[in-house]
Chains A and B, each alone.
Chain A
Amino acid sequence: MGTAAGAVPLEETVSFSIIPSLLFFVLGLVYTVSTALLPEAAVGRPFEPKIFPFMLGGLMLVMSLALMIREIKALKGNEEIQEHLPFYKEAGFKKIALTCVFSVLYALLFDKVGYVISTIIFLELELILFNGVKNWKINTAVSLAFSLFIYIVFSKLLGVYLPMTPGIWI
């Protein structure tokens, strides 16, 4: 069984190997507690809707604990721990966080200003992240073309509703 942990590159053995199992343990705990708080069923056996979630919660607790123990053991076998970057300093982390922020903004704008405009804004922002500000001409062309293309295909040709943009009625 030690092979699995041993296969993980050394730089990842510390925080990143214990934290996930810890998180899953906490999740199992939260899930189990909220299962206990579920209302009882009025029809049939009152406890029925809770059985399966309890099983899941319990299994999650046991398994994440097992994983945690295994990771700690693997850690002890490896006294020399190298310094490594915390995950928030890794390449790409900032951009992932920004993408999330942009997505939230997108969601907030979506119904208000319609599909085309909100998508142009969102894509423009994402393209700046990926492609850089200096390529703004390409960025704008892509985001315009994409938004209009999708809007026409979905909304006009396929009849799949997308929030209408005021002023655009093709």
Chain B
Amino acid sequence: MFKRTLSLLLILMAVFTMGLAAEGQTDGAGGNPQYPKGVLDFVAPGGAGGGWDLTIRTTAKVLKDTGLVKVPMPVRNNPGAGGSVNLASLQEKEGSDKIVCVYSSPLILTKLNGTTDLGYEDVTPLARLIADYAVFVVAAGSEYKTMNDVMDALKSDIKSVKIGGISSVGSMDHIQFLMMAKAAGIKDLNQIDYVSFDDSATAQVLGGHIDVYSTGLSEVLGLIESGDLRALAQTADHRVGEGVVADIPTCVEQGINATFVNWRGLFGAPGMPEYAVTYWRETLAKLVETPEWEQARITNGWDDAYQDAPEFAEFLAQVNQEYTEILTDIGMIK
């Protein structure tokens, strides 16, 4: 009886998920004798549906659709501790030519704030692909009209403005605000009240529970368009997007001389063989030129931020320096 149930279930599953299965079964044996051969291992260090997950799935899809990579690229999620769990498991796969994973600012921050001992030196950068920028928003009825209003209020009373963001103290949403505050000349950075939320603080800023929400531009696009939220500033060095988004001034324009880029790039395991690195550098350089990639970027609201591996490595070192300074200022690095 039980077996019948089982087999029935199996048949049902099989019938109704044909479509899904067909997706994964496009064969890649394409007859290429060199690298890449077999099945690649694409990794999102975060959960399904998150930013990293979307990035790597989109990349894999465009690579496949454009025929740039012909072998299967199944995406695996390896979440935990802001990507640090994956970072640790990468160390066990040293020298692998199969693994390609996505990372962004937390790759550097998790080491600096002490979550892990591993950092950007422990992976092989392949290319920086895209960027999103920080934006600081307030509720439509807020008294703060510009970024300088917020900074002035903080200067006269450091506790008077409550900044909210996703994820804990010392991670991205917190740091990006502090970098602006520092550039605006605020001294007691560690006295600024940053309130950490788990999922989204959008409802909290709409409801007036926090004053300023420090987040990513794509996170609050809809509410900026509808006028429920007012964007005080974004952190690119240029105006981005179109329509309402293009109207958001940069911090630099408002006299706060700092930028913050939430870049996303692809990385291999430490000690990735030379031939694999070369292959990916060439392939990704071709990828960013394709119209399919441009379309995917626009759909997702990602800014183009392509950088080849050598420049990317330099960029990482420089970003590391900037984050270290801020975290030292607030005493999280001693």
Contacts and interface: CB of A to CB of B under 8 A. Distances in A.
Contacts of B75: 159
A158 B19 CA distance: 11
Grouping DSSP codes into helix (H, G, I), strand (E, B) and loop, the A interface class, with mixed when no group exceeds half, is loop
A45 B193 CA distance: 10
A157 B20 contact: yes
B193 A44 contact: yes
B330 interface: yes
Nearest to B331: A42
Interface string B127-140: 00000000000000
Interface residues of B, number: 23
Interface in B187-201: 190-191, 193-194
B76 A157 contact: no
A contact residues, range: 10 to 19
Nearest to B20: A157
A157 B6 contact: no
A145 interface: yes
Interface in A7-48: 41-44
Contacts of A43: 169-170, 190, 194, 330-332
Contact of B74 (A145, A152, A153, A159): A159
Given A149-B10, A152-B10, 4 more contacts: A145-B3, A157-B21, A159-B24, A159-B75
28 contacts: A41-B169, A42-B190, A42-B330, A42-B331, A42-B332, A43-B169, A43-B194, A43-B330, A43-B331, A43-B332, A44-B190, A44-B193, A145-B3, A145-B6, A149-B10, A152-B10, A153-B10, A156-B21, A156-B24, A157-B13, A157-B14, A157-B20, A158-B17, A158-B20, A159-B20, A159-B74, A161-B77, A169-B39
Interface of B: 3, 6, 10, 13-14, 17, 20-21, 24, 39, 74-77, 169-170, 190-191, 193-194, 330-332
